[in-house]
Amino acid sequence: MEKNSTEILREIESALAELKEKVRLLEEQVAQYQKLAEEEEAAAQEAESVDEVDFTDMEIGETEDLPEAAAPESFVEPEPVIEPEPLPEPVLEQEPAPEPEPAPEPEPAPEPAPSPEIPSVDTSRMAWRLDKPGLPVKNIRSGISLYDRALFIGTLFKEDYALYDKTIGELNALTTLDEAVDYVLAHFPDWNFKSDIVYNFMMAIRKKLG
């Protein structure tokens, strides 16, 4: 059970009172030592005066009253020095450690955008699938003339050059004609796949994908 501040203060006051009593005893011992030293010094001075007596004028057998040397008082053994007990250290109440904040819940990963639905259009008998595309190319852009490119951007892509450039780039990354047809059907369902301009666009794709 932890002590309160009043009990700790009382213990400190009691320890201080004991310490004062021990200091008083030590002062008394010091006073005794000083008195003993003074007596020993006086005795030493009397002994020196005896040594200075002139014995040359004294006849044999004569004695002179010599000062008796002061008998040293019995030595008083000093009391052992009692070391003061260390004061008890005050017990400090420790503040409870703060509880860790709960970790924030991870945000749910965004759901992937749904892929565009591919409309069911039968393209198997369309002319751009049956006609020969001409010389093969490694890049769809090189198979489109400047005139056709301007026509595609102005008509099929509604003057959006960025959309045209993005579409050609993604079509270039495909490997089969069926993939290209599905891409066009999914992203441009409003195109008329029987029109001449779509025919020219699909024939340009076939130059790369066959």
pLDDT value at residue 63? 47
Q: Are 137 and 208 in contact (CB under 8 A)?
A: yes
Question: What number is the average pLDDT over the span 55-81?
Answer: 54
Please return the burial class of 201, using the count of CB atoms within 10 Å of its CB with bins 0-12, 13-18 and 19+: buried
What is the 8-class DSSP label of residue 135? S
Q: Are 9 and 91 in contact (CB under 8 A)?
A: no
Angle between helices 177-187 and 196-209 (to 10 degrees): 140
pTM of the model: 0.45
pLDDT value at residue 19? 83
Q: For residues 27 and 14, give the distance between their C-alpha atoms in angstroms, rounded to a whole number.
A: 20
Q: For residues 61 and 63, give the distance between their C-alpha atoms in angstroms, rounded to a whole number.
A: 6
Those residues with Cβ within 8 angstroms of residue 114's Cβ, 6 or more apart along the chain or in another chain: none
Q: For residues 29 and 44, give the distance between their C-alpha atoms in angstroms, rounded to a whole number.
A: 23
Q: Are 155 and 148 in contact (CB under 8 A)?
A: no
Residues 149-207 pLDDT 10s: 999 999 999 999 999 999 999 999 999 999 999 999 999 999 998 899 999 999 999 99
Buried b (16+ CB within 10 A) or exposed e, 71-101: eeeeeeeeeeeeeeeeeeeeeeeeeeeeeee
Residues 80-131 pLDDT 10s: 667 767 666 666 666 667 677 777 776 666 665 555 666 667 787 888 888 8
pLDDT value at residue 134? 83
Question: What number is the average pLDDT over the span 15-26?
Answer: 84
Q: Are 67 and 49 in contact (CB under 8 A)?
A: yes
Q: For residues 199 and 154, give the distance between their C-alpha atoms in angstroms, rounded to a whole number.
A: 16
Q: For residues 200 and 145, give the distance between their C-alpha atoms in angstroms, rounded to a whole number.
A: 10
